[in-house]
Amino acid sequence: MNAQILKSYQVEDHLLDEVFDHKGQIRAPYKRLYDYFNKYGSDDFKRVNEATKLSFLLQGITFATYAENPKGTERIFPFDLMPRIITGSEWKELEKGLIQRNIAINLFLKDIYNEKKILKDKIVPSELIFSSVNYNKYMVDFEPPGGIYNHISGTDLIKHSDGNFYVLEDNVRCPSGVSYVLSNRDALKKSLSQLFKALKVGTVFDYPEALSNCLHSVAPDGVDEATCAVLTPGMYNSAYYEHSFLAQSMGLELVEGRDLFVENGFLYMKTIYGQKKLDVLYRRIDDDFLDPLAFNPDSMLGVPGLMDVYRQGNVSLINAPGTGASDDKAVYSYIPQIVKYYLGEDPILQNVHTYQCEIPSEMDHVVNNLEKLVVKPVDQSGGYGIFVGSSASKAECEEMKQKIKQEPREYVAQPIMNLSSHSTYIDDTSQFEPRHVDLRAFTLLGKDYEYVLKGGLTRVALKRGSLIVNSSQGGGSKDTWVTELD
């Protein structure tokens, strides 16, 4: 008989493992999966895993990382066959919490660009907002079509060793990763089809339709049947696969800046049949590159005059420019107060405690307890520039302290949270080993429209012991199953 592949799994004492409890017993939601996997030996498993990976490569499901290779060579996104399971009741709370949080963020954005009540009421320091490089003056005294700013939010959550989910970060600019959710599911559907029915796993394939509904719901006033398109910076972008995937699955044109132009107050797309007016643009390029007339004049990616058409109310941009003023890591620590302020409700989702280095007493705490903290630059995404105190050398700590003291506004710190671990198939050992995971949940907000993708993207830190799960930092992913069963 083959060696059972999950038998030698080691649970680490101080961690929460989502699959096994501390006694090494399989947790209830994973029971069927465990039995199913244990029917196979490691050789069988290896074979199925390889086949799945190959199908990813053949489908062109790849991404490029800047740090590793500036030329942008593409890699497949590491993926393994063991799904992560979230129970129905757990998910219900998460879903409610995600909608609540993102609605509050939307109201916050509308407020800081218009009435600015929350700043005048001193709930959030006005300096914090106005000093942010992401506070976009082109959004001042303007409300986008449908009153929605963060149409698409990617909320990063972790499961702490206390068993609760915590929000680690909000991403409301151009969050990526959703295409991997759908591709992962596609791959697992083929390999584990019987289990889906048995576990009553919620679908993720409704996402393209939901996104399309969301885009149409915020069409400019007076437009009955909106023409939408996806704007990509081009094939050298790390998320190009996703851009083309989303355009294709929604049946929309994938366009680049040079395919578009502005005339007479409207945005047009060049087609072989002549010009066609565009009403909704799902743009996957950063604010700064959107419009060389308004922002970075050297941008070759954007459309000159786009911001003017936008301010005329003649095109909808998804997401709105300037949303970055709400998801930087310094604003993050105010989100619980923001939820309370606009909705009069207690936040359903918890934040990880965050120290603001710009507040002198908090900075003192941070520089004196660096070894117990994770320090993050306020303005970086993709896991770049994260400093983990426990694994830094004395010299690195000293350097970090100096940086914080020089530019306190630029840094926040959080206690090192024990991200839960999850059994993950490791190629090198052909075994399952515990790896840290987080969850990026995708929420859509449109005009009178709310949607949360069932599951989201579970990201895996493939390096043993590493806490950094970002795909741009060499992380992998898992399919995430929301089961109706408890």
Partner 1 sequence: MSIYHVNYQTTNKYENPVKEALIVLLILPKADESQQFISFSIENNLNLDHFLMPNMYGFDRIMFRPSRPFSQLDINFQCQLEMEDINPYENIIEPLTNESEIIQSLDFKIDHQLFLKPTPSTRISKELLPDVLIKSDHQSSVEFLQTLNAFIFNQFQFEDQVDSLSNVPADTLKNNHGVCQDFAQFFIAVCRANKIPARYVSGYLNQGDGHIGSAMMHAWAEAYIPGTGWQGYDPTNNLMRDSHYIKVCHGTDYSDCAPIKGVLNTHGSNVTDYKVTVSQQAQQ
Query: Would you tell me which residues interact with partner 1 (CB under 8 A)?
Result: 116, 119-120, 122, 126, 130, 137-138, 140, 142, 258, 261-265, 292-294, 297, 304-305, 307-309, 311-312
Closer residue to partner 1 in complex, CB, 143/308: 308
Closer residue to partner 1 in complex, CB, 168/294: 294
Closer residue to partner 1 in complex, CB, 313/336: 313
The minimum distance between CB 99 and partner 1, in angstroms, equals 29
Signed CA dihedral, 164, 168, 170, 173: sign only: negative
> In the numeric block, which tokens belong to residue 199?
């576990």
The minimum distance between CB 103 and partner 1, in angstroms, equals 24
The minimum distance between CB 146 and partner 1, in angstroms, equals 20
Closer residue to partner 1 in complex, CB, 29/305: 305
Closer residue to partner 1 in complex, CB, 314/480: 314
Do 220 and 279 touch, CB atoms closer than 8 A? yes
Closer residue to partner 1 in complex, CB, 137/353: 137
With 0-12 / 13-18 / 19 or more C-beta atoms within 10 angstroms meaning exposed / middle / buried, residue 436 is buried
The minimum distance between CB 404 and partner 1, in angstroms, equals 23
Signed CA dihedral, 115, 116, 121, 123: sign only: positive
The minimum distance between CB 231 and partner 1, in angstroms, equals 16
Closer residue to partner 1 in complex, CB, 136/155: 136
> In the numeric block, which tokens belong to residue 155?
């909320």
> In the numeric block, which tokens belong to residue 117?
């009540």
The minimum distance between CB 290 and partner 1, in angstroms, equals 12
- Residue 377 gets which letter from DSSP? E
CB atoms within 10 A of CB 62: 15
The minimum distance between CB 16 and partner 1, in angstroms, equals 44
- Sequence-distant (6+) residues with CB within 8 A of 428 are none
CA distance 313 to 142: 9
CA distance 63 to 50: 19
The minimum distance between CB 302 and partner 1, in angstroms, equals 9
The minimum distance between CB 380 and partner 1, in angstroms, equals 22
With 0-12 / 13-18 / 19 or more C-beta atoms within 10 angstroms meaning exposed / middle / buried, residue 465 is exposed
CA distance 177 to 458: 10
Closer residue to partner 1 in complex, CB, 98/315: 315
Closer residue to partner 1 in complex, CB, 125/415: 125
H or E element, residue 406: helix 394-406
CA distance 312 to 306: 10
Phi, psi (5° rounding) for residue 374?
-110, 125
Indicate the SS3 state at residue 193. Answer: helix
Peptide bond into 319 cis (omega under 30): yes
> In the numeric block, which tokens belong to residue 405?
């003291």
